[in-house]
């Protein structure tokens, strides 16, 4: 649990308070049987009413102290556990925020969610349970054994044997618990992965009537999780009877041997009751500690999975000596840019050489899988090239401070994404201080003003998570408006009109040409019709540049471009 150890120092006062208050609580608890024995032997058996009142008063004081100390230790333990997990959750979030697309793909969204929620909850549950016995259990066992030894040496041996037997049972159970815990977490990952995929593809599943197949697929994963969970339940079910058996046999042994010692005059009745009480306290503390330790294997598995996220070496590392805040004009230069994913047989991008002048607009066209989206992600600093370099205004992108780069860059992703809030809050994601007038201006360029104005609350109209309460075309236009609000020096548009009809698409692209004058624009598109008027078109095929020029030039010289145009003309004619 090195993850926890590294954060104990920050919250050391809560941990110190936990140990201090538990020590006071245990001392008061162990004092009570001794007072009770004294009350019986020197008060009840001698009919000394004054001594009974005195001993009873001390029992009340000890009980109040024990209650207050236990309450304070519980509060300190809860604060310590929740604060540590709060810090861990923040660390995981901050780490994931630095991941490139590659790390996100390597881990997968479902497992990152599981590790940020369920795994951390497992650690918190263990810390809460452990905090309740961190000092109390060992102090109760040691202190109870010492008090039992002071009361009667012979009976104290029974206590020692009982603790050893309980420890042996716990060792066996913990060994199996570690194995089952890993199975549970892995199965939980699998269930989340299938459920996430099904929820994201619900429309497709229904369209192809695959509900029964997907239900069976989820059922198989769910059954595997249930099997692993039942295994843990059986371990818990085995542990409880075993502990109760050890407890009952131990109490029986103390009563048996203690009764003989009482009748022989070697042990007073009060001493026998004290020994029984100490035994119950010791076994109770040991059993509580055992319950906490049974949570340890699952917490260790969770910590290992969280450590894998925390220690993951990001492909995109912040520069050791980043370039400071410098004026960015938007000039780009790609030299030999190649990108291949680990384990892949072919390059996604292969030897890209491209120069883009500041303030120019370059359309990047190609069929699906040509590498358009990947090229934009490399330029945006979301992925790092395997070889080659990307220079922004002559400075290698790897040495540019990411915050500086992203402060001058805006991107419209291929998959339009809106966040829960309002139209205005989504647009101001790019620039929080943007005025309403600037928002309406961006909406006008994005051909979104009309439908936003028609909403009941205009800019204050609600947007649900993912923007599913607006159409796909409306989401796409709102994403374009959001990028325009940022007033970037470098604008990356990934198939920005794929969900729009030809008429709206043409109006939008024409408005963009005017609104982005002076801005460097890279516009990736599968359609050649919308970009045929661009001042420059770059054609990608299988990750490489196979054409570069204007529409007329490419029609004469680039076979790939000719095929794209011909295919789209055919589709347009048939439509």
170-197 confidence digits (pLDDT tens): 777 777 777 787 788 788 878 888 887 8
Q: How far apart are CA 332 and CA 191, in angstroms?
A: 44
pLDDT at 3: 64
> Residue 302: which residues within 8 A CB-CB, separation 6 or more?
115, 118, 119, 120, 122, 123, 185
What CA–CA distances, in Å, run from 516 to 49, 152, 531? Answer: 97, 91, 15
Side-chain-side CA neighbours of 256 within 13 Å: the count stands at 7
What is the average pLDDT across 441-462?
93
What is the average pLDDT across 105-116?
79
Q: How many CB atoms lie within 10 A of CB 221?
A: 18
pLDDT at 5: 65
SS3 content of the chain, % helix, strand, coil (to 5): 65, 10, 25
What is the average pLDDT across 134-153?
78
- Say if residue 322's pLDDT is above 70: no
Q: How far apart are CA 412 and CA 560, in angstroms?
A: 26
Name the 3-class secondary structure at 207: helix
Q: Strands 520-525 and 361-365, how do they pair?
A: parallel
- Say if residue 319's pLDDT is above 60: no
The DSSP symbol for 115 reads: I
pTM of the complete model: 0.67
CATH number of 332-574: 3.40.50.300
> Residue 198: which residues within 8 A CB-CB, separation 6 or more?
205, 214, 218
pLDDT band for position 394 (cuts 50, 70, 90): confident
pLDDT at 441: 94
What is the average pLDDT across 495-523?
87
Cα–Cα nearest to 303, from 127, 48, 453, 483: 127
> Given 1.10.3080.10, 3.20.20.100, 3.40.50.720, 1.20.1560.10, which CATH number is that of 84-310?
1.20.1560.10
Q: How many CB atoms lie within 10 A of CB 105?
A: 12
pLDDT at 392: 87
Name the 3-class secondary structure at 287: helix
pLDDT at 325: 55
What is the average pLDDT across 391-406?
80
Q: How far is CA 10 from the centre of its chain?
A: 22
Q: How far apart are CA 370 and CA 310, in angstroms?
A: 33
Q: What percent of the chain lies above the pLDDT cut of 90?
A: 17
pLDDT at 85: 87
- Say if residue 477's pLDDT is above 50: yes
pLDDT at 575: 47
Cα–Cα nearest to 285, from 106, 414, 132: 132
Cα–Cα nearest to 388, from 361, 348, 331, 342: 348
Q: How far apart are CA 202 and CA 211, in angstroms?
A: 9
What CA–CA distances, in Å, run from 6 to 9, 204, 401? Answer: 7, 46, 29
Name the residue with higher pLDDT: 65 or 304.
65
DSSP letters for 298-340? HHHHHHHHHHHHHT---SSPPPSS-B-S------EEEEEEEE-
Sketch the domain layout of the chain as residue ranges.
84-310, 332-574
pLDDT at 310: 83
Q: Where are the beta strands (DSSP E) in 301-457?
A: 332-339, 349-356, 361-365, 387-392, 395-396, 409-412, 421-422
With contact defined as beta carbons under 8 Å apart, do 284 and 243 qualify?
no
pLDDT band for position 482 (cuts 50, 70, 90): very high
The DSSP symbol for 501 reads: -
What residues form DSSP beta bridges with 524? 364, 494
Rounded mean pLDDT of the chain? 83
Name the residue with higher pLDDT: 436 or 152.
436
pLDDT at 306: 85
Q: How far apart are CA 188 and CA 305, in angstroms?
A: 13
Name the 3-class secondary structure at 494: strand
With contact defined as beta carbons under 8 Å apart, do 473 and 519 qualify?
no
Same fold, 84-310 and 332-574: no
What is the average pLDDT across 63-74?
89
Q: How many CB atoms lie within 10 A of CB 420?
A: 12
With contact defined as beta carbons under 8 Å apart, do 499 and 469 qualify?
no
Q: How far apart are CA 187 and CA 199, in angstroms?
A: 18
What is the average pLDDT across 529-545?
86
List pLDDT tens digits, range 252-276. Answer: 887 887 787 778 777 787 777 887 7
Which letter, b or e, does each residue of 343-363 get, where b requires 16 or more Cβ atoms within 10 Å of its Cβ?
eeeebbbbebebebebebbbb
Q: How far apart are CA 373 and CA 87, in angstroms?
A: 35
What is the average pLDDT across 147-162?
75
Q: What percent of the chain lies above the pLDDT cut of 70?
A: 95
Name the residue with higher pLDDT: 153 or 60.
60
Cα–Cα nearest to 14, from 100, 94, 77, 90: 77
Q: Which of 80-89, 121-130, 145-154, 181-190 has the lowest mean pLDDT?
A: 145-154
Taking the chain, what is the end-to-end CA distance rounded to the nearest angstrom? 63
Q: Which of 103-107, 294-298, 320-324, 375-379 has the lowest mean pLDDT?
A: 320-324
- Say if residue 574's pLDDT is above 50: no
- Say if residue 320's pLDDT is above 60: no
- Residue 200, burial from CB neighbour count under 10 angstroms (0-12, 13-18, 19+): exposed
Q: How far is CA 386 from the centre of its chain?
A: 28
pLDDT at 295: 78
What CA–CA distances, in Å, run from 369 to 197, 320, 347, 376, 540? Answer: 22, 34, 11, 13, 9
- Say if residue 209's pLDDT is above 70: yes
> Residue 442: which residues within 8 A CB-CB, separation 6 or more?
427, 481, 482, 484, 485
């Amino acid at each position: 649990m090195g993850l926890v150890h590294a954060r104990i120092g920050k919250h050391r006062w809560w941990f110190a308070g936990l140990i201090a208050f538990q020590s006071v609580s245990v001392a008061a608890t162990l004092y009570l049987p001794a007072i009770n024995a004294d009350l019986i032997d020197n008060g009840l058996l001698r009919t000394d009413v004054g001594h009974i009142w005195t001993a009873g008063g001390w029992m009340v004081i000890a009980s109040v102290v024990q209650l207050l100390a236990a309450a304070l230790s519980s509060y300190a333990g809860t604060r310590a556990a929740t604060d540590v997990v709060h810090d861990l959750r923040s660390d995981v979030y901050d780490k994931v925020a630095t991941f490139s697309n590659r790390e996100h793909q390597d881990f997968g969204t479902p497992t990152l969610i599981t590790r940020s929620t369920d795994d951390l909850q497992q650690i918190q549950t263990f810390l809460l349970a452990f905090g309740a016995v961190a000092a109390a259990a060992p102090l109760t066992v040691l202190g109870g054994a010492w008090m039992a030894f002071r009361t009667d040496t012979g009976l104290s041996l029974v206590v020692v044997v009982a603790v050893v037997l309980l420890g042996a049972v716990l060792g066996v159970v913990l060994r199996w618990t570690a194995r089952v815990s890993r199975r549970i977490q892995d199965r939980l990952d699998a269930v989340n992965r299938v459920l996430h995929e099904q929820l994201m593809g619900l429309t497709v599943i229904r369209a192809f009537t695959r509900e029964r197949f997907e239900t069976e697929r989820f059922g198989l994963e769910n059954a595997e999780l249930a099997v692993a969970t039942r295994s843990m339940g059986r371990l818990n079910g085995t542990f409880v009877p075993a502990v109760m058996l050890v407890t009952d046999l131990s109490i029986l042994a103390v009563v048996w041997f203690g009764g003989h010692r009482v009748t022989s005059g070697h042990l007073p009745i009060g001493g026998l009751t004290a020994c029984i009480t100490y035994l119950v306290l010791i076994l109770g503390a040991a059993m509580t500690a055992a319950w906490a330790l049974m949570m340890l294997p699952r917490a260790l598995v969770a910590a290992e999975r969280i450590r894998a996220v925390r220690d993951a070496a990001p492909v995109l590392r912040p520069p050791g000596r980043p370039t400071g805040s410098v004026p960015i004009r938007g000039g780009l230069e790609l030299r030999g840019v190649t990108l291949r994913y680990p384990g892949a047989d072919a390059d996604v991008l292969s030897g890209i050489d491209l120069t883009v002048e500041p303030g120019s607009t370059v359309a990047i066209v190609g069929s699906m899988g040509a590498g358009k989206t990947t090229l934009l992600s490399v330029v945006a600093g979301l992925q790092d090239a395997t070889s080659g370099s990307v220079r922004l205004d002559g400075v290698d992108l790897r040495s540019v401070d990411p915050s500086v780069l992203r402060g001058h860059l805006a991107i419209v992703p291929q998959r339009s994404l809106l966040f829960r809030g309002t139209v205005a809050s989504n647009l101001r994601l790019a620039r929080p201080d943007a005025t309403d007038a600037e928002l309406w201006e961006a909406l006008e360029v994005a051909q979104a003003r009309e439908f936003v104005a028609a909403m009941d609350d205009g800019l204050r109209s609600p947007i649900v998570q993912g923007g599913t309460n607006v159409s796909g075309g409306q989401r796409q236009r709102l994403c374009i408006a959001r990028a325009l609000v940022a007033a970037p020096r470098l604008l990356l548009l990934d198939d920005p009109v794929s969900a729009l009809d030809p008429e709206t698409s043409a109006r939008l692209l024409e408005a963009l040409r005017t609104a982005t004058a002076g801005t460097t624009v890279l516009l990736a598109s599968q359609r050649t019709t919308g970009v045929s008027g661009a001042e420059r078109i770059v054609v990608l095929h299988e990750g490489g540049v196979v054409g570069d020029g204007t529409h007329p030039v490419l029609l004469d010289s680039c076979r790939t471009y000719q095929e794209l145009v011909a295919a789209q003309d055919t589709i347009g004619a048939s439509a």
